Amino acid sequence: MIEIKTIEFARPLAGSAGNAVYAELKRQIVNLELPPGTPLSEKEVSVAFNVSRTPVRESFVRLAQEDLVLVLPQRGTRVSLIDPEMVLEAQFMREQLERAVVRLACRDFPEDLLAELNRNLALQKECVQRHDTRRMFELDEAFHRILFEGCRKLGTWSVIQQMNANLNRSRILWLSTDPQWTPLYEQHRDMYEAIVRRDEAKADRIMQEHLSLSIANLPVLQKKFPNYFK
């Protein structure tokens, strides 16, 4: 039996039912509330969300396109297992793109967003002290997002986000086991300073080290959660 929290239809329009189901399922999948391997059936989900099978099926199609679920014709649908190979490739892509962006940021970055980075850093510092893992994860994402925004590469960021669903799941796993945020905060801070000083080489180097941390212990995660990986 699957446990799926029903959607809040209180607000008159969170888009169509299909969108709502899609968004909620995706959220639960990347948060590992629906662990990899969980069987999903159109019917069960439809009764859980109190909609018909059509919008559920629609959401399955979209999730399948992002490799978040695996549809086996006439057999069933399951939350897809995390493919370590894909995690590594996603890491590769993200590294190349983020390094390029941070180099761009050193050449030109708007003042207001620079200030926003600074505010973000202050919040991060607080979270590190409070050990607020959840919030820190959000701030981390926001920090990188602002970098892309400042370089007018938000489309690139959204592509990364979409493609990185698998990488994100492993990152969620990671923070559930080893929440050492202090070095990450320091790297963010150093990156900020490098951008201010327009030191491309240094910013590039820090970003490289920074992102390599995310998957440093992928093998450890595989051994700790063998059922979640392919």
Instruction: Give residues in contact with DNA (CB under 7 A).
Output: 16-18, 40-44, 51-55, 57-58, 60, 71-77
Nearest Cα to Cα of residue 62 among 108, 22, 112, 20? 22
The distance of closest approach from Cβ of residue 62 to a second copy in the complex, given in angstroms and rounded to an integer, is 6
Instruction: Give the nearest distance from C-beta 76 to DNA in angstroms.
Output: 4
Output the six-digit token pair for 224: 């700790």
Q: Interface residues for a second copy in 50-69 (CB under 8 A)?
A: 54, 57-58, 61-62, 65
Task: Give 117-134 as a DSSP string.
Answer: HHHHHHHHHHHHHHT-HH
Q: b/e map of 71-108 (b: 16 or more CB within 10 Å)?
A: beeeeebbbbbbbbebbeebbeebbebbbebbbbbbee
- Considering the rule CB under 8 A, would residue 7 count as an interface residue with a second copy? no
Q: State the minimum distance, in angstroms, from the CB of residue 184 to DNA.
A: 39
Among 156, 187, 208, 217, binds a second copy (CB under 8 A): 156
Which one of DNA, a second copy, none interacts with residue 89, CB within 5 to 8 A by kind? a second copy
| Residue position matching structure tokens 């990671």 | 174
Distance set, CA 205 to CA 62, 67, 100, 134, 215 (Å): 36, 31, 11, 27, 17
- In this structure, which amino acid lies at residue 148? F
Alpha helices, H only, 75-177? 84-107, 111-130, 133-150, 154-163, 165-177
Closest separation between CB of residue 49 and DNA, Å? Answer: 9
Q: Which does 76 bind (CB under 5 to 8 A by kind): a second copy, DNA, none?
A: DNA
Pick one of DNA, a second copy, none as the site partner of residue 40 (Cβ within 5 to 8 A by kind). Answer: DNA
> In whole angstroms, how close is the CB of 53 to DNA at the nearest point?
4
Q: Which does 43 bind (CB under 5 to 8 A by kind): DNA, a second copy, none?
A: DNA
Cα dihedral across residues 27, 29, 34, 38: positive or negative: positive
Reading phi first (left if > 0) and then psi (alpha if -120 to 50, else beta), residue 95 is in: alpha
14 binds a second copy (CB under 8 A): no
Shortest distance (Å) from residue 230 CB to DNA? 18
Q: Identify which of residues 57 and 202 has a Cβ nearer to DNA in the complex.
A: 57
Sign of the dihedral defined by the CA atoms of residues 169, 141, 3, 45, in that order: negative
What is the total count of residues that contact a second copy (CB under 8 A)? 23
Q: Which residue has the tokens 């992102």?
A: 211
Residues contributing to the site for a second copy (CB under 8 A): 16, 18, 54, 57-58, 61-62, 65, 73, 85-86, 89-90, 92-93, 96-97, 100, 153, 155-156, 159, 163
